[in-house]
Amino acid sequence: MAITFQEIKDNRDISVYIQKADEAMRAIGYTEHSFPHVNKTAQGAAAILSALSYPERMVELSRIAGYMHDIGNVVNRHGHAHSGGVMAFEILSRMGMDAEEVATITSAIGNHDEATGAPINAVAAALILADKSDVRRSRVRERDVENVSGDIHDRVNYAVVESAVDLDAAGMTVTLRLHIDTTYSAVMDYFEIFLTRMLLCRRAAEFLELRFKLEINGVELL
């Protein structure tokens, strides 16, 4: 059965897991991992594969993977990619999704974390690029804004006043462009916490036969 992205968004269980996962992230001091993040990841992953002329069904699978990728946080932050993949397997199988599509999505979710992941298929590669590029001020919790200098993750996210992912299909490049307010965070702070993510993005881009570029405040750094 061809499960649609809209059916995934309308599924109460998935919505509850996303909400409860974000509540868990809030409790341990992490930035926003709720509906703004998963929707942005879903649309970003789909935009990447669409720009590269992948089949529409593959684009739809990337939307679904992007939307569901962080549900494993409801179990624990550690190993959340793996537990999220297992959860997605059970949910999508119960919904009647074709086994090949279930395998594509669950393996993408299971491989999106920089500690253990790899771009093993096009959906995984697009998910990695979309997820790791979601750095923005609005991900910092309201309660943490006044003390934003106290945590490097909050500080770096709060410092990013503009972010965009630009894919040049003709030039075969994908560029993450950031404008960082250096009164809150030095550019080197970004690399201190996100270097492994950027290296995974490079591998994901290479899987899609693209070159990954990172531009911060108009300067190309990767």
Please write the tens of the pLDDT for every residue from 42-78: 999 999 999 999 999 999 999 999 999 999 999 999 9
**Token reading at 168:** 């040049």
Res 105: pLDDT: 98
Structure tokens at 60: 């739809």
Write out the two tokens for 55: 């089949």
Q: Which domains, and CATH codes, for the chain?
A: 5-220 (1.10.3210.10)
Q: Write out the two tokens for 112.
A: 């999106």
Report the alpha-carbon distance of residue 144 to residue 29 in Å, rounded.
9
Give yes or no for residue 147 having a pLDDT over 90.
no
Q: What pLDDT does 142 receive? A: 80
* Angle 29-32-34 from CA coordinates, rounded to 5°: 125
Task: Classify each residue of 108-127 as buried b or exposed e, where b means 16 or more C-beta atoms within 10 Å of its C-beta.
Answer: bbbbbbbeebbbebbbbbbb
The pLDDT tens digits for 190-210 are: 988 899 999 999 999 999 999
| pTM reported for the whole predicted model | 0.95
Give the pLDDT mean for 77-86.
98
Look up tokens 């599509």; give the residue: 101
Report d(CA 12, CA 34) in Å as an integer: 15
